[in-house]
Structure 1
Amino acid sequence: MPRQWKTKTFKSGNSVAVRLPKSAGLTEGDDVILVPHDDGSFSFWREQDGARVLDSLFGAFSAGFMAEGRGDIEQAERDWDGQPRAA
């Protein structure tokens, strides 16, 4: 099981903040990406680790994912000027 920490939120100016232990691996001034999920949970990582996080997400797909491609998908012509085309 990954390490976990318990903490409390606190008010900092007009924001809500979370204090993280040094052992979490963040340092002062790190740019952090925070992603809220539909279930109320959050994920976060250092911005500099974004490529590694993306790679780990791709590793989460099964070995056979899209092995047969996407299949035939009909797509309407697009008018890149923003005006809908008559069919």
Structure 2
Amino acid sequence: MSEEYRAKVFKSGNSVALRLPKALGVAEGTEMRIVREDQTSFKVEPIAPAKRKIDLTGIWGIMPDARPLTREEREFDDSPRVWDDPAWPGWKDQD
């Protein structure tokens, strides 16, 4: 059996808003999807948050010496390219 709640639509800026009762357990900031099913009924459901790609919270404490790289450590030497070698068959002198 489903529970029933009543709420009132109110004006919020140039829109109308619907305040959901706290008893529904919807967390503040939850993104919701609203689907109009016919002229007089709507379906409101929460949208699942996007999954995080990388979560480092579990390994942060096991790497005590981890630190961000300095600007000097982020600069790399140029990688040699085969086309920069005069012995390469496709190399042309651009002088």
TM-score with structure 2 setting the length: 0.47
Correspondences of 1:46-85 after superposition (within 5 Å):
46-48=46-48
Q: Secondary structure at the match of 1:40?
A: coil
Q: 2:7–2:21: 8 Å Cα contact kept in structure 1?
A: no
In structure 2, the gaps of 5 or more residues are 50-95
Summarize deviations over 1:2-53 as a string: whole Å, max 9, x none: 011011100000110011111112111100010011141011111018xxxx
Cα distance in structure 2, aligned partners of 1:43 and 1:10 = 18
Cα distance in structure 2, aligned partners of 1:7 and 1:48 = 24
Higher relative contact order (CA 8 A, sep 6+): 1
Percent sequence identity over matched residues? 43
Moved over 2 A (4+): none
Cα distance in structure 1, aligned partners of 2:40 and 2:10 = 18
Q: Secondary structure at the match of 1:48?
A: coil
In structure 1, the gaps of 5 or more residues are 50-87
- Alignment RMSD, CA only? 1.5
The structure having more radius of gyration, on CA atoms, is 2
1:16 corresponding residue in structure 2: 16
